[in-house]
Amino acid sequence: MAETTLLSGGGLSTAATSVELLVVVGYLLVALLVGLVAYRLTGTDAEDYYLASRSLGTLVLLFTTFATLLSAFTFFAGPNLAYRQGPEWILVMGTMDGILFAILWYLIGYKQWLIGQQHGYVTLPEMLGDRFGSTWLRGLVAGVSLFWLFPYVMLQQMGAGEALVGLTDGTVPYWGGAALITVFMILYVGLAGMRGVAWTDTIQGLFMLSVIWIAVAWVLSAIGGPTVAAAGLDANNPTFLALGSSFYTPAYIISTAVVIAFGVTMFPQINQRFFVAESAAVLKRSFTLWPVLVLLLFVPAFLLGTWAAGLGVSVPEGANVLPVLLGEYTPAWFAALVIAGAMAAMMSSSDSMLLSGSSYFTRDLYRPFVEPAVTADREAWLARGGVVAFATATFLASLTRPGTLIQVGSTAFGGFAQLTLPVMVALYWPKTTRVGMLTGISGSQLLYLSHVFVPTVPVDIGGATISLFARTYGGWDVALAGMMLGAALTISVSWLTTAGTDEAAERFAVGAD
């Protein structure tokens, strides 16, 4: 066993610290090199910068979407949850969300791709604003998306800061780790655009899959095989071997799976990838393979967290179980590779978030409200400036450390999920109106925001105390209620208001087959 642990688990020796820092910095330099190569091939127009001229093939599209979804949660928060509560989290992320998101990729993503091909749309707000002839709807969708994107970019910087504090036993401070990842992201996203991000994501995705499966094999070999791991669970945490713990209630599993899957669909960095496939065949192959790829990563990551509980691995308060486990059962140099994989997960999420967030700001807020006649070249350079501004703002906010990785991430998922059903109604119901969309999106967001930011209020009803403005009611996430409200308002208000013109409705009629 290694004599030290990682990431707030007791620190590393000087030699091990040097190895980890070399691995992490080396990885960042490779990513920057990819960005420089992509910069030489990237055009000066906004469409090439944002969408790589809609030219991505199956492998790159699949892995850039995959790597973009992976974040600090995958390597840190998810295994931590499995360590404390059991492996049933795999049902939420590995299975249910893999399948649910693949279905939504078809229902929403394929339709968006068809419409984007016909009309040249670059962002979801642009598409909706044009369909309903409403600059305000375009601005609302962009503003809401940027609002919820902000904490999720911040989450990655928080994860990087925490990682390097533990990795160096405090030699690199929290702010230094967050600043390091921020600077490198600004450099290569600003240079490369979608093409460089997609190429880097593909490398990151393959790297992450490789190291996590090698980690599983190494740990099992060190402890004596899966039988020993199961025996440890039976002895120390027998409830982990049976479904149906008090934590993983049906309400919790269903709520979490639905909110995450529907929220992911509206993440700007994911939704924008619905426009970039070079053909319909590429898009269809990608969402068909998606559930398999998700299982290949989430299952081993969460199993490692679960086995750590059975093996009696002690995780200090504030530490992350996966690096601590690897510090116990693998050499320092290999643990360094896995931590580099975790950094890759954070980078591959943050770079795409910055790129998409910049496109929403420049294309859907700056252009329609500030400078409608902005040229494509100027827009591309404004986008690069947007990357710098957004990354700097999230970095400064990350220094306040407003919550745990799980808290920050789950809040953002719920906010994005409020957009999904109104967008689906607009894609499939020609009688959807501008007022219906504005009302549905605003109503669901206001309901969800009230439960996120307003303190809970205990109310006595018939002798029973109910906490108003709580995040859950009877175990069900309030985000589900917001989603239902958004759909109901969009449909009912559209029904009561004047329908959009037939010409506008026809824009969304393509791809109905």
pLDDT tens-place string over residues 176-185: 888 887 887 7
Closest CA to 175 of 397, 406, 408, 409: 397
Task: Note whether residue 482 is domain-resident.
Answer: no
Task: Note whether residue 437 is domain-resident.
Answer: no
Closest CA to 7 of 397, 400, 352, 313: 313
Region 420-438: mean pLDDT is: 94
Residue 227, domain CATH = 1.20.1730.10
Task: Note whether residue 496 is domain-resident.
Answer: no
Beta strands in 17-141 (DSSP E): none
Q: Which two tokens stand for residue 419?
A: 């957009």
Q: 128 with 138: CB under 8 angstroms? A: yes
pLDDT at 44 over 90: no
> Tell me, what's the pLDDT at 55?
67
- Using alpha carbons only, what angle is made at residue 51 by residues 49 and 53, rounded to the nearest 5 degrees? 90
**Angle subtended by helix axes 405-428 and 250-266, to nearest 10:** 70
The pTM of this model reads 0.83
The residue among 236 and 447 whose pLDDT is bigger is 447
Q: 440 with 425: CB under 8 angstroms? A: yes
Find tokens 């590393």 and name the residue: 12
> What is the spatial distance between Cα 499 and Cα 133, in angstroms, rounded to a whole number?
12
Indicate the DSSP class of residue 110: I
Task: Note whether residue 409 is domain-resident.
Answer: no
Q: 427 with 108: CB under 8 angstroms? A: yes
Residue type, 7: L
- Burial class of residue 55 (count of CB atoms within 10 Å of its CB; 0-12, 13-18, 19+): middle
- Using alpha carbons only, what angle is made at residue 344 by residues 295 and 169, rounded to the nearest 5 degrees? 115
Query: Mean pLDDT of all residues in the chain?
Result: 80
Residue type, 143: G
pLDDT at 377 over 50: yes
pLDDT at 495 over 70: yes
Task: Note whether residue 453 is domain-resident.
Answer: no
- Provide the domain count of the chain: 1
> Tell me, what's the pLDDT at 191?
65
Region 245-262: mean pLDDT is: 83
Highest mean pLDDT among 80-89, 130-139, 185-194, 491-500: 130-139
> Tell me, what's the pLDDT at 174?
82
Contacts of 57 (CB under 8 A, 6+ apart): 278, 282
pLDDT at 167 over 90: no
> What is the spatial distance between Cα 369 and Cα 353, in angstroms, rounded to a whole number?
22
Find tokens 């109604």 and name the residue: 425
Q: 482 with 493: CB under 8 angstroms? A: no
pLDDT tens per residue, range 327-359: 889 887 787 777 776 776 677 777 778 888 888
Find tokens 């070249």 and name the residue: 377
Task: Note whether residue 412 is domain-resident.
Answer: no
> What is the spatial distance between Cα 97 and Cα 264, in angstroms, rounded to a whole number?
9
Q: 380 with 192: CB under 8 angstroms? A: no
Find tokens 């039976």 and name the residue: 234
Q: How far is CA 257 from CA 251, 254, 344, 480, 486, in A?
A: 10, 5, 24, 11, 19
Of 63-72, 79-88, 440-449, the range with the lowest mean pLDDT is 63-72
Q: 88 with 248: CB under 8 angstroms? A: yes
> Tell me, what's the pLDDT at 418?
96
Task: Note whether residue 252 is domain-resident.
Answer: yes
> Tell me, what's the pLDDT at 201?
75
> What is the spatial distance between Cα 215 and Cα 93, in angstroms, rounded to a whole number?
20
Full domain range(s) for residue 39: 21-403
Task: Note whether residue 502 is domain-resident.
Answer: no
Contacts of 371 (CB under 8 A, 6+ apart): none
Which of left, alpha, beta for 54 (phi over 0: left; psi -120 to 50: alpha)?
Answer: left
